[in-house]
A = this chain, B = another copy of it.
Amino acid sequence: MENYNRLVARCNKIARLGQLAGLAGWDQQTYMPPGAAEARGEQLAVISELIHEMTVADETSQLISSAEAEIAGMDSDSDEVRSLRVVRRGHELATKIPGHLVAEASRHQSVAMPLWAQARAESDYSKFAPALEKSIELARQVAEHLGYKDHIYDALIDQYEIGATRADVAKMYADLTPHLVSLTAAIRDAKPNDDSVLMGNFPIDRQQSVTLDIVKSLGYDLNRGRQDIAAHPFCSGFSRDDVRITTRFNSEFLQQALYASLHEAGHAMYEQGIPASLNGLPISNAASLGIHESQSRLWENQVGRSRAFANWAFPTLQAAFPESLGNSNAEAYYKAVNVVRPSYIRVEADEVTYNLHVALRFELECALLSGELSVKDVPSAWNARMEKFLGITPPNDSLGVLQDVHWSIGLIGYFPTYSIGNIVSAQLWNAASREIPDLCRLVETGQFSPLLYWLNTNVHAHGCKFLPSEIVLKATGEPLNPAYYVNYLNTKYGELYGL
Name the CB-closest residue of B to A244: B33
A 373-397 contacts with B by CB, 8 A: none
Q: Is the CB of B17 within 8 A of A223?
A: no
* Contact B27–A43 (Cβ < 8 Å): no
**Are B226 and A33 within 8 A (Cβ)?**
yes
Q: Is the CB of B16 within 8 A of A239?
A: no
Asked if B241 contacts A46 (CB within 8 A), the reply is: no
- Give Cα A238–Cα B23 distance, bound, in whole angstroms: 14
Q: Does A366 contact B (CB under 8 A)?
A: no
What's the minimum C-beta distance from A75 to chain B, rounded to whole angstroms? 29
A404 contact set on B, CB distance < 8 A: none
Is A35 part of the contact surface with B, judged by Cβ < 8 Å? yes
Q: Which residues of B contact A23 (CB under 8 A)?
A: 20, 23-24, 27, 43
Separation of A223 and B37 alpha carbons in the complex (Å): 10
Residue A73 CB within 8 A of the other chain = no
A43-71 at interface with B (beta carbon < 8 Å): 43, 46-47, 50
A159 in the interface (beta carbon within 8 A) = no
Indicate whether A225 reaches chain B with its CB closer than 8 angstroms.
yes
Copy number in this complex?
A: 2
Closest beta carbon of chain B to A2's beta carbon, Å:
19
Contact yes or no, A43 B31, CB < 8 A? no
- Assess whether B46 is in contact with A17, with CB atoms less than 8 Å apart: yes
Residues of chain B within 8 A (CB-CB) of A222 are: 33
Which among B21, B31, B32 is the interface contact of A20 at CB below 8 angstroms? B21
The interface residues of chain B lying within 8 Å CB-to-CB of A241 are 33, 35-36, 38-39
| Contact A16 B43, beta carbon cutoff 8 Å | yes
> Given A238-B36, A242-B39, A242-B40: A46 and B221 within 8 A (CB)?
no
Name the CB-closest residue of B to A36.
B242
Cβ of A19 under 8 Å from chain B: yes
A32 to chain B, nearest CB (A): 7
Q: Does A42 contact B (CB under 8 A)?
A: yes
Judge if A13 is at the interface, Cβ distance under 8 Å: yes
CB within 8 Å of B: which A283-317 residues = none
Residues of B within 8 A of A20 (CB): 20-21, 23-24, 43, 47
Which residues of chain B are near A35, meaning CB under 8 Å?
221, 223-224, 241-242
Task: Write out the residue numbers on chain B whose beta carbons fall within 8 Å of the beta carbon of A43.
Answer: 16-17, 19-20, 23, 238-239
Report A58 CB to chain B, min CB distance, Å.
16
Contact with B along A348-391 (1 / 0, CB 8 A): 00000000000000000000000000000000000000000000
By the criterion CB–CB under 8 Å, are A39 and B19 in contact?
Answer: yes
Q: A17-B47, A31-B31 are in contact. Are A39 and B223 (CB under 8 A)?
A: no
Q: Which residues of chain A (202-260) have a CB below 8 Å from chain B?
A: 221-226, 228, 238-239, 241-242, 244
A-B contacts, 17 listed (Cβ < 8 Å): A13-B50, A17-B46, A17-B50, A19-B39, A20-B21, A20-B43, A23-B23, A31-B226, A31-B228, A33-B225, A33-B226, A34-B223, A35-B224, A36-B224, A36-B241, A39-B242, A50-B50
